[in-house]
Structure 1
């Protein structure tokens, strides 16, 4: 018997269905956050266990996020055939394969195989993101989209707080600080045995992750998540898009994808490099592991502000503009400020706390870009979403640039890469989203 699916229009979905859908997508965003932000602890862990340079260690994020560039457009065509719900289930299945690849990778301590597993995880996440982000953006009034995205952002970053802490608790031991100091002094044979044991600690966690991802895919498939019909346009939208033959006829979307590329790159830099920045201040890894959680907590504070204030106290566009400016200011303070402080029990350079605050600045940027870039796409919605998701490869490329600059100039000086990124985001927040035609005029 053919499966019965419930399809709801893009313009005025039932409020009860909106609540159900947001609850289900919240689970999806939690998983996306958990899988994505565990990279913050994988980077320094693989650097030790696989004996990598700083540049090589950031191939963790490159392999994970470059899949977004490769898979996003094919995902949009797949979603046209499968719909949002089945597409999400497929995404979970692909992610489980990636998690299972970690087992033979750990057994052989093969960094390349780990990167293959990370690419598969990123591929599955790309499918999930291509489905979930436009779904939540068009599920209800577009002017409240940032509020809905902020709610889901709390789930995403809440998982991000838990991920490094849980993962570190599972794979790290209290005696590891002493062990890490002794590894460079060991003879090759002894060091090989120790590193093999170290890397094999990831096998059980990723076996569990793989099983959980499979089960979540089945649950999504059986869930009451309704479909949203993005292929049919109302009369007004159909008239507005009558002359549109290609996705490139929407300049504000393409410029928005560039904004996503830069935004996610700065976001990952602020989270995935902070442990390395802390250890450069002679903070042990077992202490430094909490810093990504600080950054993610600051992000959650921004999301909560968005949930409360948008659109009652401030429009989502004004919030977007304000937070891009904050990002630029905090980035300048990271590279310019140099003074020692004792805060929350950590003796660090003050600049690391501006890196933490960058999480707050980043919180409402994603939520600001999506509604402006996706508004009025109509039948181009799924393809437009895939173009936006392609921008997530910035998660993999910009940290590589940071890692290269860190090896070349120093971990602090490498944060100069953030400044041009935020300057472009400021441009898009104030002007770029208004561009309707490819010309110098708005």
Structure 2
């Protein structure tokens, strides 16, 4: 009987591990899609950054409704629906590629983000529920490693597929004087997404079927806000916006995700501007993810046994500022290495900021969590802002100085939140003014 139970647990943890790998695979494909669509749809840099906008905006719109949807559907069906929505988003890439319609690509990306937001909301509780509570932390670590490893694989595989020989193709496009010849080249480039995204859609559909037929328990969502008690700071409160540490925490998540997307998804574009060929820069996102993976593992080892999460957040925030400065002051491989190392700095941000933002919320915990998740929209807003600043030469900023300015602001705010912001409004005697 024990053996059957252990076997069932292994099947369940494998399924959840595959789901977390899907999260990482789909999310970090943006690092390859940005330079690919820039070529295929003949976009400016700022326009290409709307790839991140379309994808991450879905989290802003779905974070609150996801909990309501899952209460109606149940978690297993909710995960299956999320996977199928992502699959439809992948299939949208087929007509988008055939017409080279960038808006259609963006719609497909928004659907992928929508499905992923629902899927993540449903899948996250399983990590704690399946298996002993005392080993939940190790399971969370395994899921994180699955996520980041899949992101690395995604960029290596899709970088080699979508951006193969892109330097020579860009030269052909630039030299083409006949519009029909130019269109043939661009159509051929755009068609590269059809097969891999069709296969992705099929894979997501298969995973949806496996989940519905699996032994995963159809767990309920976390305890509702109304079923949780008051803490010393929630008595008499009626709105999540009466908790400054949570509102400020959502802004910290906004800054963190914006900085992570800047460092991870835009590193290939940045490298190209430094003079690297597209055939070289297409792998740069994977280098950043390796840094993220190393930082993630090191954080697991150090926190909280050797260092408090607030202290580690401070260290990584300071390191992030220095690395951004290093990318500005150096050239070539050294500058790209600084950018990739930003992944290490970013690894601790989410696991440190999130618990600080929801501490002592009591009956407002679920609403507070949803508000923090809405902060992911930073990944949708900050990259296009960066493109706007340097493409329009605002205040004399070029691509390097604009990058440094935005990253410095993001990390400075995160530092402030880790040191001071997360404490505002937590004292029992403190009156919160709205």
TM-score by length of 2: 0.86
1:354 counterpart SS class: helix
- In structure 1, distance between residues paired with 2:127 and 2:364: 16
- In structure 2, distance between residues paired with 1:146 and 1:266: 26
1:412 counterpart SS class: helix
Which residues of 2 match residues 226-265 of structure 1 at below 5 A?
226=217, 227=219, 230-231=222-223, 237-238=229-230, 240=232, 241=234, 243-265=236-258
Note if contact 2:228-2:362 (Cα within 8 Å) is conserved in structure 1: no
**Structure 1 residue 63 displacement after superposition:** 1.0
Which residues of 2 match residues 30-429 of structure 1 at below 5 A?
30-133=21-124, 136=127, 149-173=140-164, 175-186=165-176, 187-226=178-217, 227=219, 230-231=222-223, 237-238=229-230, 240=232, 241=234, 243-335=236-328, 337-338=329-330, 340=331, 348-407=332-391, 408=393, 409-415=397-403, 416-429=405-418
Q: How many residues align?
A: 418
**Structure 1 residue 145 displacement after superposition:** 8.0
Q: Can you give the 5+ residue segments of structure 2 that lack an aligned partner in the other structure?
A: none
What root-mean-square deviation, in Å, do the aligned CA atoms of Structure 1 and Structure 2 show?
3.1
- In structure 1, distance between residues paired with 2:415 and 2:285: 25
Q: 1:114 to 1:128 in 2, by over 3 A?
A: same
Q: Deviations 1:202-224 (Å, cap 9, x if unpaired)?
A: 01111111111122223333444
Worse overlay, 97-106 or 382-391? 382-391
- In structure 1, distance between residues paired with 2:52 and 2:134: 33
Q: Deviations 1:320-355 (Å, cap 9, x if unpaired)?
A: 2322222222222222x22x4xxxxxxx25222111
**Structure 1 residue 410 displacement after superposition:** 2.4
Note if contact 1:68-1:393 (Cα within 8 Å) is conserved in structure 2: yes
- In structure 1, distance between residues paired with 2:8 and 2:306: 27
TM-score by length of 1: 0.85
- In structure 2, distance between residues paired with 1:378 and 1:121: 33
- In structure 2, distance between residues paired with 1:402 and 1:143: 43
- In structure 1, distance between residues paired with 2:222 and 2:102: 41
Q: Deviations 1:285-306 (Å, cap 9, x if unpaired)?
A: 1111111111100110011112
The structure 2 residue matched to 1:26, chosen from 17, 20, 30, is 17
2:61 counterpart SS class: helix
**Structure 1 residue 74 displacement after superposition:** 1.4
1:417 counterpart SS class: helix
